[in-house]
Amino acid sequence: MTDLSTLSRRHFIRVSVLAGGGLLVACGGGSSSSGNSGANNSPDDNAGTPSTPADVIQVGEFMRISTDNQITILVGAAEIGQGALTAIPMIVAEELDADWSKVTSELSPVAIKFNNPYFQNLLQFTVASSAIRGYFEGQRRVGATVRQMLINAAAKRWDVSPSSLRTEASHVIDDVGGRSASYGELSSAAALENVPSNPTLKDPASYRIIGTSPQRLDAVKKTNGSFKYGMDVDIPNMLTAVIARPPRFNGQALNVDDNAALAVPGVRSVHTILNGVAVVADDFWAAEQGRKALVVQWNELLAGRTDSATQRTAYNLRLNIPGVPIRNDGLVLAAQTLASQTLSADYYFPFMAHAAMEPLNVVVDYDGSSAEIWTGTQSASLDKIFAGLILGLPPGQINFHVMPSGGGFGRRGNPLADYVRDACAVAKSLRQPVKVIWTREDDMKGGFYRPAAAVRVSASIDSANNISAWTHRSVTQDVTALLYAENLLDSVADFTLPPLKELTDFETGMPYKIDNVFMDAHLTVNLAMPALWMRSVNKFTDVFAQETFIDELALRVNKNPYNFRRDLLTEKPRHLAVLDAVAEAANWGFSGTGISQGISVMGHWNSFVAQVVEVSISASRELTVHRVVSAVDCGTAVNPDLVKAQVESAVIFALSSILFGEILLEDGVVQQSNFDDYPVLRMYQTPIIETIIVDSGNPVGGVGELGVPCVGPALANAIFAATGERIRELPLTHSNFKIV
């Protein structure tokens, strides 16, 4: 292994020769071995069919260039539908000058070498829209390094200067000599070359792959149904388990009568674990029937008693108490004293469920001395650590296969690894391959929701009709505190720190030119109510309050909401660019008869978005969302079609939350259970969605969450334009709208 500190402070390259020829390249951050016996070699993986002896060698965490010129790139980021299995290989293939038609991809093993550089190479973690912006630079350097080694190998073969050669479509070409050699032909010789310490990266102007939209590498398998998710894993002698969980969080099984459960045909055994009682059977149906037959008395001495109505009252009271300062610019009190008027508004947001299409599931094969685990996860390294703790195994004895997920939205990025811990606890008792399945009802009632939140915003207006002061106070669970450090992570990664005001502008989502700003938050701790980040995290609530209130202020001073924002964004060119782009694309101010528009804008995850929502509302309060137009600046769009797909999926996700999303608790018991009482957007309710990419030429930004936060306020602003009603809480069903 060669440590290339000058290549990148967080990345290295390791090169060796495949049996039968071919080149192996390990790439990532850190220097520890994975403890995995091989790459994602589950019987249900999504790799291409091996075509040469080189391809079937278990080589662990490597990019593979085989003798038949096939290139396989292992991806450390989770594939949760966002296209990581395509976008990250595009980055490597670009600098490698690869023939894209010969490129395939696989999810990597859980290994330090594949940790996300965005998280300082400490975790293999796919949250905070960090996949592309985390791996981008390192994967470019990997591709450039291998390309140079292939050139050097060809130069020696032909006895010419490397500078006289060029690469194209997985070939090294000697134009003077009129010859070429494929990467497959050169791979064994290239493995013997010294690893370049400072490979030349392409000028973005010469990109051939980045910035284009080739078909997703997983598109065919997803279309024909052969693509394998965690739920599809099936291994020999595998049993199925479901877990009966207490009605209140933190409850524990006190007495279990399993006689009726064991009498169900196909039920094998019943096991009490920390978080419930597992019923193990030959198949899911038997396990589920066995669970229904269980009689469990629960110990609820430590159980949570969170009540939605009581919590809302408590949160609203805390809005009257100063919290922890997040931003403090200028002299807010003085500006408020001198103002002509001061306005304020309070908002409330309930708990919301992630509601991914694929419920949680884990397969564990544990024999007492080693284990293999298959699951879809956004938090692979932490899941593996917790699995080792539960099973009593060192990392080297666990082969952890990361599977694609049918949605995640943060739920599969739980640092506490709850669903993996439970599965390992069952497997430890069983010592036979077992798939632990969460039903939809388990998933909906299983906790780790978007935390409820209350927000108060206020603004002072001076005699010249300018905003002279702004305050913003949030009350929510402490899970969101971690997300206030996202841009700090960006800065630390580059060993630079921006001015404090620039950092807080990005983190608080307040881009407007207001001299006096104070923001604080109550980050409450509620151990009895499991909460977790959910797509766009606190931006969903904070931006809703900010952008609806900005509209109120615009109308108070008799300005068009779009022009009002423009006047406040003169020092924010990227915000302004997406705002102008979306206004033009949506034909702002000229909607059709009976159609009302709303607009909003924000910047976060090193990206920027503005959105316009168009609605109509009938006399009987039937609400129709007709169109959502988004303008997005994510810096360099690696694959524009994937960017659009991410933003448009986010629009649907956001509309589901805004229109219907609400988890209610009564005395600690969750009231929702499935899509009948926790609806998501139906196809007939889905509006026309248009997305424009604004190419700023800046470094890559995050996209996965970007399309969520502005949809809500733009929709609420459109509703005000149609009815004169202000939306202060979600979901919109509280406002007695019928969604059509």
Structural domain including 385 reads 230-302+366-437
**DSSP structure class, residue 170:** T
Listed residue (86, 57, 672, 40) closest to 377, CA to CA:
40
pLDDT at position 484 over 80: no
Average pLDDT, the chain: 89
Name the pairing type of β-strands 398-403 and 371-376: parallel
Confidence of residue 9 (pLDDT cuts 50, 70, 90): very low
CA angle 675, 680, 685 (to 5 degrees): 130
Looking at the structure, do residues 188 and 278 belong to the same domain, yes or no? no
CB 89 within 8 A of CB 100: no
At residue 53, φ and ψ (nearest 5 deg) are: -55, -30
Looking at the structure, do residues 591 and 724 belong to the same domain, yes or no? yes
The answer as to whether 665 is a domain residue is yes
Quick one: CA torsion of 183, 186, 191, 193, rounded to 10 degrees? -110
> Which of 410, 437, 464 is a domain's end point?
437
Predicted pLDDT of residue 412: 97
Looking at the structure, do residues 612 and 558 belong to the same domain, yes or no? yes
Separation of alpha carbons 88 and 510, rounded Å? 31
Give per-residue pLDDT as tens, 707-738: 999 999 999 999 999 999 999 999 999 999 99
- C-alpha distances (whole Å) from 471 to each of 330, 342, 514 are 12, 11, 11
Predicted pLDDT of residue 15: 57
Looking at the structure, do residues 344 and 397 belong to the same domain, yes or no? no
- Grouping H, G, I as helix, E, B as strand and the rest as coil, residue 661 is coil
Looking at the structure, do residues 525 and 613 belong to the same domain, yes or no? yes
Looking at the structure, do residues 295 and 314 belong to the same domain, yes or no? no
Looking at the structure, do residues 252 and 120 belong to the same domain, yes or no? no
Separation of alpha carbons 190 and 157, rounded Å? 11
- H/E element holding 591? none
- C-alpha distances (whole Å) from 59 to each of 15, 16, 430, 724 are 11, 10, 31, 64
pLDDT at position 517 over 60: yes
Looking at the structure, do residues 565 and 495 belong to the same domain, yes or no? yes
Give per-residue pLDDT as tens, 392-419: 999 999 999 999 999 999 999 999 999 9
Q: What is the radius of gyration, based on Cα positions, of the chain?
A: 27
| Distance in Å from the first CA to the final CA of the chain | 60
The answer as to whether 261 is a domain residue is yes
CATH number assigned to the domain comprising residue 401: 3.90.1170.50
- C-alpha distances (whole Å) from 405 to each of 337, 357, 608 are 54, 9, 27
Separation of alpha carbons 138 and 441, rounded Å? 41
Looking at the structure, do residues 181 and 46 belong to the same domain, yes or no? yes
The answer as to whether 403 is a domain residue is yes
Name the pairing type of β-strands 63-65 and 71-75: antiparallel
**DSSP structure class, residue 667:** T
The answer as to whether 674 is a domain residue is yes
Looking at the structure, do residues 411 and 516 belong to the same domain, yes or no? no
The answer as to whether 649 is a domain residue is yes
Listed residue (290, 245, 284) closest to 669, CA to CA:
245
Confidence of residue 483 (pLDDT cuts 50, 70, 90): very low
- Grouping H, G, I as helix, E, B as strand and the rest as coil, residue 241 is strand
At residue 352, φ and ψ (nearest 5 deg) are: -135, 145
**DSSP structure class, residue 735:** G
Looking at the structure, do residues 242 and 199 belong to the same domain, yes or no? no
CB 436 within 8 A of CB 362: yes
> Which of 188, 216, 244 is a domain's end point?
216
pLDDT at position 95 over 60: yes
Predicted pLDDT of residue 40: 41
Looking at the structure, do residues 423 and 490 belong to the same domain, yes or no? no
- Token pair for 67: 């003798």
Alpha helices in 640-704 (DSSP H): 640-659
HEC-encoded secondary structure of 119-179 = HCCCCCECCCCCHHHHHHHHHHHHHHHHHHHHHHHHHHHHCCCHHHCEEECCEEEECCCCE
The answer as to whether 680 is a domain residue is yes
> Which of 380, 402, 437 is a domain's end point?
437
Domain count, the chain: 3
pTM: 0.91
Within 13 Å, how many C-alpha atoms sit on residue 570's CB side? 6
Residue with tokens 């079609």: 641
The answer as to whether 523 is a domain residue is yes
The answer as to whether 150 is a domain residue is yes
Q: Where are the extended beta strands (E) located within 262-420?
A: 267-273, 276-281, 295-299, 324-329, 341-349, 361-366, 371-376, 398-403
Give per-residue pLDDT as tens, 144-154: 998 999 999 99
Please give the average per-residue pLDDT across 49-62, as a whole number.
36
CATH number assigned to the domain comprising residue 618: 3.30.365.10
